[in-house]
Chains A and B, each alone.
Chain A
């Protein structure tokens, strides 16, 4: 059972455009992480959010954790070809003592020059 749904599944945009990726669940998470994965490599952590309503910025990337800690979004401003990759959200279950991360279905982003 997939608990974390990401949308859109695929996104192809031109350099300079803005975009938002969504990560939604019916479950509450104690924390949520966003990873980026490039072809042939393992995922690499971008950010961790832990507080409902929290907003974190990483250069042109803005991450938000929903107030109810069931959803998150990733907004990229003025996308660049270097942003191309698979974006994965991952939630840790509320109150869990072990690090059982549940990963989302992924959003494949292609930024055309």
Chain B
């Protein structure tokens, strides 16, 4: 049981490049989400999904795209990377959407945009 996995662990991009951050979970969780973590800002929600084929925007969605074709996978796409997107990105999953369930987080992807 691997839990939530994220790849890559580290990434350096140039301004304007695009890339996809991968996230997968093997717990059959319906709810998955992407957060970014910046110093002094806690975690901010980018996009989330309540099941395959269903996604919605969080607090800071601009510059990011998501899709959910399977229960297991929830990739995050950066369309045209900007220095403001330098951050640590975390993927999380939980069983339900009621707000009381445990969010299981991946180990994070550390992204630097030059």
Contacts and interface: CB of A to CB of B under 8 A. Distances in A.
Interface stretch (B14-22, B77-85, B95-103): B95-103
A52 interface: no
28 contacts: A4-B42, A33-B103, A35-B103, A41-B107, A41-B108, A42-B4, A42-B92, A42-B108, A43-B43, A43-B105, A44-B105, A45-B102, A88-B42, A88-B43, A92-B99, A96-B99, A97-B97, A98-B56, A99-B50, A99-B96, A99-B98, A101-B33, A101-B103, A103-B42, A103-B45, A105-B40, A105-B41, A106-B40
Interface residues of A, number: 31
Given A42-B108, A45-B103, A101 B40 contact: no
A99 B97 contact: yes
B25 to A, nearest CB: 12
A98 B90 CA distance: 19
Nearest to B98: A99
Interface residues of B, number: 30
A63 B92 CA distance: 23
Interface string A71-113: 0000000000000000010101100111111111110000000
B74 interface: no
Nearest to B58: A100
A9 B102 CA distance: 24
A44 B92 CA distance: 11
Given A48-B100, A99-B99, A40 B41 contact: no
A104 B100 CA distance: 16
Interface string A31-50: 10101000011111100101
A35 B90 CA distance: 14
B31 interface: yes
Contacts of A26: none
B11 to A, nearest CB: 15
